[in-house]
Amino acid sequence: MAMGDTMGKFNFKSRENRHELEFEGAPGYVPEYRPPRYWPPLYGPEEVRTFEGAPGFVREPKLELFLLAVSNMVGEDTFYEAASDRDARGQRRGR
Amino acid sequence: MTPGVSDEVAESVADKLSDPVEVARSRVLPIRYLSAFNAARSPRWAVALEMALQLALSNVPRLDGRTLILIDTSGSMSAKFGKDGSLRYWEAATVFGLALAARSADADVVSFSSFSRVFAVEPGEWVLPAVRRFGRAGYFYGQGTETERAVREHYKRHDRVVILTDEQAHWHGSRHVASSIPATIPVYTWNLAGYAGGHVPAARNRHTFGGLSDAAFAMIPMIEAGEAQAWPF
């Protein structure tokens, strides 16, 4: 997956290659990439990237929840992540 | 002299700050003593705040051997955290990094962003003034997070590597940021921001913990003593 697919910051594609006019049912339509389910695998392959583009590694959900809990004050924006996204992620991992 | 604070009041505050029971009971995050140090205009608070910080960092272990400590000073680490916005992520990373260095037999401290430099630790220097020196001397090298290169360039047969970071490394061309470190050497990632993606895969000798409290630092000697191979969940 190219970084430009998910991050506007790295969207280096030329305009005509962005497939903005594609829609479900159109010829050559490719469904949007969906990341694999988080659990399993326990130690996933390189399927995510860090926010700055290096290979990222999914965490074991308990570790992700732990790190979020110990470094997070609920309802606060962070450099890379809005408060609402962050709190929703914490709730998902908490279940 | 701080205007409006009498010597008697100042003395009783200083007594509380240097009382291990009071500091433990208060459950104040260690970095809050840095905010107080930064806010206090009178130097008379420095001793009490440093004592309180040392007491609050009771879980930071004494480490033998040689330790490489890397502090992320990239753009994202300059973001403020907490609603009052008095602290930045790099300050929390530096408090922990320099406290760990002070308790290590032999530590090399490196600041890394787009480039990296060694921060010369002065023997016996207190942590709070050292953090201030770190900030004022400008140990910030651009907005980037060249973690992999900093690890590769500064690793010289250390016994362990500690990286204090938000883990959001820039593209580096290796499999992960600690690829250059032998698999037998423990690499501890101290995560301060809790983002989803990690910069190393979970594996033996590649441990991730973090937070704004020092609680998880106790894991380092436990892991190295072989008492724990995994998270104690």
Which pLDDT does position A22 carry in this prediction? 56
Q: Is there a contact between A62 and B233 if contact means CB atoms under 8 Å apart?
A: yes
Of the residues A50, A62, A63, A92, the best mutation for testing chain B's interface (the one with the most B CB atoms within 10 Å of its CB) is A50
Tokens 């970071």 correspond to B165
Token digits of residue B29:
């995050």
Whole-number Å distance between alpha carbons of A54 and A94: 27
pTM score, two decimals? Answer: 0.80
**Exposed, middle or buried, B39 (CB in 10 Å: 0-12/13-18/19+)?**
exposed
When pLDDT is averaged across residues A42-52 and rounded to a whole number, the result is: 64
Domain ranges of chain B: 1-59, 62-227
Residue A35 backbone dihedrals phi, psi, to 5 degrees: -60, 150
Structural Rg of chain B based on CA atoms: 18
Residue B134 predicted with pLDDT over 80: yes
When pLDDT is averaged across residues B166-184 and rounded to a whole number, the result is: 88
The one-letter code for the residue type at B143 is Q
Strands B87-88 and B104-112: unpaired
Fold of B62-227: Rossmann fold (3.40.50)
Q: ipTM beyond 0.95? A: no
Per-window interface: B 48-87 vs A, CB < 8 A: 75-76, 79, 81-83
pLDDT tier at B56 (50, 70, 90 boundaries)?
very high
Tokens 């250390």 correspond to B158
Q: Helix %, strand %, coil % for chain A, to 5?
A: 35, 5, 60
Contact status of B113 with chain A (Cβ, < 8 Å): no
Angle formed at CA A55 by CA A49 and CA A56, multiple of 5 degrees: 55
When pLDDT is averaged across residues A68-91 and rounded to a whole number, the result is: 83
